[in-house]
């Protein structure tokens, strides 16, 4: 769950948990669910050794392809994001890891309807600030995360995202807290940059999505603190909030138009986009599972893990079932958004097409980022 190596508490709460979590821990990169995975990079043996390199595998999922891959644009945005991260102070001393994660590539791939580096950088800063909140507050003890402080920190972070209005004396205290904490500065800075392109309705929309994201972070912290593996339904409820929805919510901002609130919050649109959001983050679960079971035997939550625990099945089978959940979500989004596009406004059609494109770019980024491959 973090960009960086971290220490977390092993989780096991049900009778089967030790067994299943143990099985998950024994699986290394490329090891989990191999029969549900397909080779992506081929199988090679080096000249120096007859030992074959581990085959890189990736989940065979139902997902659109990325609509563009402009490496130069992605690099340009990435360098701007890395420079900003350094300036603002997130991930201190880990600049190369931030560069390798290549969040610039993520926004280039997921927003193919803009080639404006500044717009893309604004969206990238939002994503990076949201990720930094997760890593620094929730997942990475080497970056100061502390479960006992999580709720309080997220409360202050939310007061930066949705600015708190305090009596002057206390407002100064809040400002000092922001000055001390790079995560808070990143969240504020990202919103400032975004305001060049987002109107007040779009800014408020993002605030709301981030509030839900923070609830998701808190929920995961509670599972971890209580060493409780949630049932699958509860995991999926949380993963809808703790998802890439805040990124997807910006597709119109980056595209240079606005989907009005009446359409964005239409329950039928909300439902379709929520399916896409859940699918986007199950992709993350599928690609980051190996990273989340690190060599020191630590494990984090992901869909294959909670399915394996609840359904008492092998990790291979749990990956297969997770892929099936993912594919159902994508197909449902595809069908419902096709209907909504056919019957709704041209803007809605454009927005839903952009969410579809976002899914394709998201998977492409997960395929290559050093955040998950360690490349």
Return the SS3 of 153: helix
CA dihedral over 171, 174, 180, 182, signed as positive or negative: negative
The answer to the question of residue 130 lying near ligand LYHC5SXD (CB under 6 A) is yes
For residue 18, how many C-alpha atoms fall within 13 Å in the half-sphere facing its CB? 1
Segment interacting with ligand LYHC5SXD (CB under 6 A) among 27-35, 175-183, 242-250, 268-276: 242-250
Residue 158 and residue 211: Cα distance in Å, rounded? 7
DSSP 37: E
Residue from 134, 241, 310, 364 in contact with ligand LYHC5SXD (CB under 6 A): 134
The answer to the question of residue 284 lying near ligand LYHC5SXD (CB under 6 A) is yes
DSSP 293: B
Residue 226 and residue 19: Cα distance in Å, rounded? 18
Given the complex with ligand LYHC5SXD, which of 76 and 97 has the nearer CB atom?
97
Residue 188 and residue 36: Cα distance in Å, rounded? 42
Given the complex with ligand LYHC5SXD, which of 134 and 336 has the nearer CB atom?
134
The answer to the question of residue 281 lying near ligand LYHC5SXD (CB under 6 A) is yes
Residue 66 and residue 16: Cα distance in Å, rounded? 39
Identify which of 58, 19, 65 has the alpha carbon closest to the alpha carbon of residue 323: 58
Given the complex with ligand LYHC5SXD, which of 109 and 340 has the nearer CB atom?
109
Residue 127 and residue 133: Cα distance in Å, rounded? 10
Given the complex with ligand LYHC5SXD, which of 8 and 340 has the nearer CB atom?
8
* Distance of closest approach, residue 175 Cβ to ligand LYHC5SXD, in angstroms: 25
Given the complex with ligand LYHC5SXD, which of 81 and 340 has the nearer CB atom?
81
Residue from 78, 143, 288, 293 in contact with ligand LYHC5SXD (CB under 6 A): 288
Query: Which residues from 188-217 bind ligand LYHC5SXD, rule CB under 6 A?
Result: 213
Residue from 88, 120, 127, 187 in contact with ligand LYHC5SXD (CB under 6 A): 127
Residue 214 and residue 220: Cα distance in Å, rounded? 10
Query: Which residues lie near ligand LYHC5SXD (CB under 6 A)?
Result: 1-2, 127, 130-131, 134, 213, 242-244, 246-247, 281, 284, 288, 371
């Amino acid at each position: 769950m973090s960009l960086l190596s971290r220490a977390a508490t092993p989780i096991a709460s049900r009778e089967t948990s030790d067994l299943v979590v143990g099985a998950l821990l024994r699986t290394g990169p490329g090891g989990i669910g191999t029969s549900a995975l397909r080779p992506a990079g081929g199988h090679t043996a080096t000249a120096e050794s007859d030992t074959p390199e581990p085959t890189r595998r990736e989940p065979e999922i139902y997902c659109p392809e990325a609509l563009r891959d402009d490496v130069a644009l992605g690099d340009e945005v990435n360098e701007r994001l890395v420079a900003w991260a350094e300036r603002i102070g997130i991930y201190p001393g880990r600049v190369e890891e931030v560069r390798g994660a290549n969040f610039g590539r993520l926004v280039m791939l997921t927003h193919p309807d803009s080639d404006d580096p500044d717009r893309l950088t604004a969206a990238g800063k939002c994503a990076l600030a949201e990720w930094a909140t997760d890593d620094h507050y929730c997942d990475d003890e080497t970056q100061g995360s502390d479960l006992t402080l999580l709720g309080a920190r997220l409360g202050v972070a939310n007061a930066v995202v949705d600015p708190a209005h305090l009596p002057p004396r206390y407002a100064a205290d809040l400002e000092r807290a922001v000055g001390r904490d790079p995560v808070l500065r990143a969240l504020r800075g990202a919103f400032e940059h975004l305001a060049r392109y987002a109107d007040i309705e779009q800014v408020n929309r993002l605030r709301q999505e981030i509030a839900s994201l923070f609830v998701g972070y808190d929920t995961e912290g509670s599972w971890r603190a209580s060493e409780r593996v949630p049932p699958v339904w509860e995991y999926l409820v949380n993963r809808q909030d703790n998802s890439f929805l805040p990124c997807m919510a910006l597709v119109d901002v980056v595209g240079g138009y606005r989907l009005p609130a009446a359409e964005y919050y239409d329950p039928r649109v909300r439902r379709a986009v929520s399916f896409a959001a859940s699918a986007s983050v199950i992709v993350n679960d599928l690609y980051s599972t190996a990273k989340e079971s690190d060599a020191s035997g630590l494990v984090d939550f992901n869909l294959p893990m909670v399915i394996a625990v609840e359904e008492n099945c092998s990790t291979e089978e749990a990956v297969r079932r997770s892929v099936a959940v993912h594919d159902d979500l994508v197909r449902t989004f595809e069908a419902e958004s096709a209907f909504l596009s056919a019957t709704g406004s041209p803007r809605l059609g454009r927005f839903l097409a952009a969410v579809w494109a976002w899914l394709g770019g998201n998977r492409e980024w997960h395929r290559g980022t050093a955040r998950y491959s360690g490349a």
